[in-house]
Amino acid sequence: MPNYAIEVNDISMKFNLSQEKLDSLKEYFIKFVKRQIKYNEFWALKHINFKVEKGDRVGVLGLNGAGKSTLLKVIAGVFKPTEGQVIRHGRIVPLLELGAGFDSQYTGRENIYLYSSVLGYSKQFVDEKYDEIVEFSELKDFIDVPIKNYSSGMKSRLGFSIATLVDPDILILDEVLSVGDAKFRKKSENKIMGMFDSGVTVLFVSHSIDQVKRLCNKAILLDHGELKAQGNIDEVAAIYEEMTK
């Protein structure tokens, strides 16, 4: 029996795109009484089924709006799917939106603790790793500056350094290999490659098909919320390339 890291069982995700924004009680009440509340139901994901074996590196392919990010967020636990369920075996580190949880009035140092706590680390762990974070992010001179004065590259560098602190069992990457300048990009790619070598399971979204081919051994293809294909990277990439022609 194969050893699964992630099992995605018949997941659907529905969003209600209300045509008008109903933000107020009065509006809501009037519309409710008149039975005028219209929702544009929008299924971002429709009955997605797949399993990821331990150690697999899976590329998630698809055009804009195909549901890639939604799928990753469902797997990461940010969204709760409307139907279906996800079973995860092991510690997930989602590198989805680096620095979500940073507070702009806080300094770099304070944000290291804040963001670490958001990611569920313990205080002791952060205390131990603090120097490592600062060193990797190369922000030693700016660590006591409020983060609102950081450039976006600096912010992502700090976010990346904190998020990659633990050795995950499952790594979820959404276009994060394009962090910072060329020098830092190389460093971060090395770090992620190091994780790859240690046998971590990876879910990877990128618009660069070459990068996906280079890094992944399997792939799934999404189109308008449906799972179009899954299997070995070369087969799926061929279908995707056909689609984008």
Partner 1 sequence: MKKYIDSFKKYRFLLRELVKKGIKLKYRRSYLGIIWTLLEPLMEMAVLSVVFSAMYGKKDRAFPVYILTGRLLYSFFSQGTKTAMRSIRANGGMIKKVYVPKYMYPLSCVIFNFIIFLISLIVLAAVATVLGVYPSLWTLTAIIPLFTLFLLTLGVGMMLSTMAVFFRDLEYLWEVALMLIMYTCAIFYDPSMLAKTHTDWILKINPLYGTIKTFRDAVYGSSMFTEPYWIVMPLVFSFVTLLLGFWMFKKNQDKFILHI
Q: Which residues contact partner 1 by CB under 8 A?
A: 15-16, 23-26, 28, 76-80, 94, 96-97, 100-101, 103, 105-106, 110, 113-114, 116-123
Residue 194 tokens, joined = 């190091």
**Whole-number minimum distance, CB 47 to partner 1, in Å?**
19
Pairing state between β 4-18 and 39-53? antiparallel
**Whole-number minimum distance, CB 69 to partner 1, in Å?**
10
**Whole-number minimum distance, CB 93 to partner 1, in Å?**
11
User: Residue 34: how many CB atoms within 10 A of its CB?
Assistant: 8
65 or 231: whose CB is closer to partner 1? Answer: 65
156 or 230: whose CB is closer to partner 1? Answer: 156
145 or 239: whose CB is closer to partner 1? Answer: 145
**Whole-number minimum distance, CB 147 to partner 1, in Å?**
13
CA contacts within 13 A on the Cβ side of 5? 23
14: Cβ–Cβ under 8 A, 6 or more apart, which residues? 41, 42, 43, 44, 82
26 or 183: whose CB is closer to partner 1? Answer: 26
163 or 220: whose CB is closer to partner 1? Answer: 163
67 or 240: whose CB is closer to partner 1? Answer: 67
Report how far residue 125's alpha carbon sits from residue 116's, in angstroms, rounded to the nearest whole number: 9
Q: For residue 60, give Cα distances in angstroms to 57, 77, 220.
A: 10, 17, 5
**Whole-number minimum distance, CB 13 to partner 1, in Å?**
10
**Whole-number minimum distance, CB 174 to partner 1, in Å?**
11
Report how far residue 155's alpha carbon sits from residue 149's, in angstroms, rounded to the nearest whole number: 10
115 or 136: whose CB is closer to partner 1? Answer: 115
**Whole-number minimum distance, CB 25 to partner 1, in Å?**
4
